[in-house]
Amino acid sequence: MAAERYDDILRRAREELTRDEQLQLARALSQPAPDRNGADQQKSLYDALKERGIIGSITDAPSDLGTNPKYLEGFGRDD
């Protein structure tokens, strides 16, 4: 199952990569993938993650966190 594969990748990234390496990985994943001709395409982060099978791979979470205010309690605070 793809979700298990990505969970393993994320777990290994957290355990084995330094904070700087994790940031580099996040930046690389958010960059548009080159097309077959090598030219950069304008893609959103959503599109890039969807192509990699990450969007929709978390199955044990609410479908939309914004529908229930309790999920957003404290969001954006530095407590």
Between CA 22 and CA 11 the distance in angstroms is 11
Longest dimension (CA), the chain: 47
9 closest CA partner among 32, 27, 26:
26
Q: What local confidence, expressed as pLDDT, does residue 65 receive?
A: 66
- The pLDDT of residue 73: 80
pLDDT, position 2 = 62
Tens of pLDDT along the chain (79 residues) come to 566 677 887 888 888 888 888 888 888 878 776 666 655 557 788 888 888 888 877 777 767 767 777 777 887 787 6
How many Å apart are CA 65 and CA 16, to the nearest integer? 29
pLDDT value, residue 79: 66
Instruction: Specify the DSSP class assigned to residue 68.
Output: S
Rounded Cα–Cα distance for residues 54 and 26 (Å):
13
pTM of the full predicted structure?
0.36
